[in-house]
Amino acid sequence: MPKQPPASAPDSTAALLTLCRDILVCAEGLSAGAARTRSNLLAGADPDRAALQGQADGAGRLQALVKTLGRRLGEASIHSERQEEVRRAVETVRARLACLANAVETDYALVSRRGVRIPGVGGRPHPRRRFGPPERG
């Protein structure tokens, strides 16, 4: 598929801001799901595998959105009057993702103590969900 030319500055800026909002909504959904799982685990309930799989799927969607944001930031010509707005939105996304990453580590520790295997987390990576650069071997 041929690469599309960068969008015009106002369209490109609006698309970046929309993408940032989509990422924050996705992160909030993951955070809420994680809070429910954490609460259930701390109450002594068994982990709900379907909920954990939903969290893994949501994490995959979030990863795809973040990759898209990175690519579009590289391609975009941002209208100078809105550069600060885009910068603040991207910083908000970065901060929210850092908080989410800390919560995920905590939740994974809770779940792994129960002996539950989550596809794509720990051990061998799930074939469709890989975080970080491709492995070279």
43-88 confidence digits (pLDDT tens) = 887 777 777 788 888 888 888 898 898 888 877 776 667 888 888 8
Q: What angle do CA 120, 123, 126 make, to 5 degrees?
A: 25
Is residue 21 pLDDT above 90, yes or no?
yes
Distance from C-alpha of 118 to C-alpha of 121, rounded to nearest angstrom: 6
Ordered by start, the domain boundaries in the chain are 9-113
| Structure confidence by residue, pLDDT tens digits, 112-133 | 776 665 555 554 444 444 444 4
Q: How high is the pLDDT of residue 20?
A: 92
| Nearest Cα residue to 47 out of 108, 104, 99 | 108
Q: Could you tell me the pTM of the whole model?
A: 0.65
CA dihedral sign, ordered 122, 124, 130, 134? positive
